[in-house]
Structure 1
C-alpha cells in the first residue's frame, strides 16, 4: 500500500504559470532542460512540452515529456517491421525526446507515458507518423520502455521504437 494519497492529474502544455524551479527528477540534465531550455524549444517549435500537474496544485509540475517530429531510415528497422511499410527511404515518426517525473511523485511515469502515447496516436491521425521513437537515458529507461512493447532499433544502443499501430491498441 502506498503512503501517497490517490490524486488526479491533468496534462497540459507548458505555460509560464508552471513552477519549473521546484521540479527535481534526480537527473540534472532533465531538471536543467525543464528550467532553462523547454520554453525556448516551445517558442522555436523544436519541441512540444507537456506537463502533468496535480489537480489540487495546478502550478506544480509532477512530470513532463516532449514530442517532436522525426524520421527513421527504413533500413534501420527490423525486417519484420520494415516489410509492412512503404519502401520510402525514411519512415515518419514522433520522437519522445524527454520524459521525467518529479521525485515527489513516484509511480506516475506510466501515466506520463500513457498520455504521451495517446497524444501521439491522436496526432498521427492528422499528421502521418508510423512510429513513436524514444531515446533512453540508461539501461533502466530501456527496461521501462520495453515493458510497454518498445523495441530496440538494431543500429542503436538506447533508441527504441513502437509502431503506431501497436500504440493505438494500448
Structure 2
C-alpha cells in the first residue's frame, strides 16, 4: 500500500466537497455519492468518508461504513465455536468503496481499505468482523487479496474477522 502522491485528507463527507465531478466508472457508485451519501449521513444510515485531493479540490475516492450483523450460523464452524451462542453478532459493513477514474491505478483502493479497517477497529462499538458485498469477481478478488474470506455458500459476501484486523494495527 502506498500513500497518495498528492496532499490529501480523509474526512467525513460534507457540503463543501465537490461531489458533482466524481466519476469512478460505475454509475451506481457515482450516483450514490452525488445523490444519496449526504442523506445517509444525516439519517445515520451510513457514514461516508472521502479522500480529498486538497490542491485540486477533488474527491479522489470514498467509502462508507455502517453497522450490520452476521448470523452466527453463516460463519464457518471453526469460527462459530469461538463465539458466544447468540443468533447474531455485530459487524461493520464496508458498504461502498470507489476511486475516481483520474486516480485509479495508484493503490488508493487499498489505502482507503486500510483506513476503513483502522476506523472499524478503533471504534468504541463492538464488531466481530468487517463485512463487504463484492459486486463482481474483480472486486471479490480485491478483497480476498486483502485477507477477506467468503461466507460459506455466499460467493460475493466476504468478511475479515476483527481479530485479524487487530493484529494489523497492534
Report the equivalent of 1:163: 161
Q: How many residues align?
A: 163
Report the equivalent of 1:117: 117
Q: CA RMSD in A?
A: 1.2
Report the equivalent of 1:45: 44
Tell me, what secondary structure is at the counterpart of 1:104? helix
Report how far residue 56 of structure 1 moved: 2.3
Report the equivalent of 2:53: 54
Report how far residue 156 of structure 1 moved: 1.5
- Could you give the per-residue CA deviations for residues 73-117 of structure 1, whole angstroms, max 9, x where no partner exists? 000001111111111100100000100000111221011101000
In structure 1, distance between residues paired with 2:73 and 2:141: 24
Report the equivalent of 1:152: 150
4+ aligned runs moved over 6 Å, structure 1: none
Report the equivalent of 2:137: 139
Report the equivalent of 2:18: 19
In structure 2, distance between residues paired with 1:9 and 1:86: 41
Q: More strand per residue: 1 or 2?
A: 2
In structure 2, distance between residues paired with 1:26 and 1:45: 27
Tell me, what secondary structure is at the counterpart of 1:62? strand
Tell me, what secondary structure is at the counterpart of 1:97? strand
- Could you give the per-residue CA deviations for residues 54-75 of structure 1, whole angstroms, max 9, x where no partner exists? 2323x31000000000000000
Structure 1 unaligned runs (5+)? none
In structure 2, distance between residues paired with 1:130 and 1:64: 23
In structure 1, distance between residues paired with 2:151 and 2:109: 22
1:93 is aligned to 2:71: no
Tell me, what secondary structure is at the counterpart of 2:101? coil
Tell me, what secondary structure is at the counterpart of 1:96? strand
TM-score normalised to structure 1 length:
0.92
Report how far residue 9 of structure 1 moved: 2.3
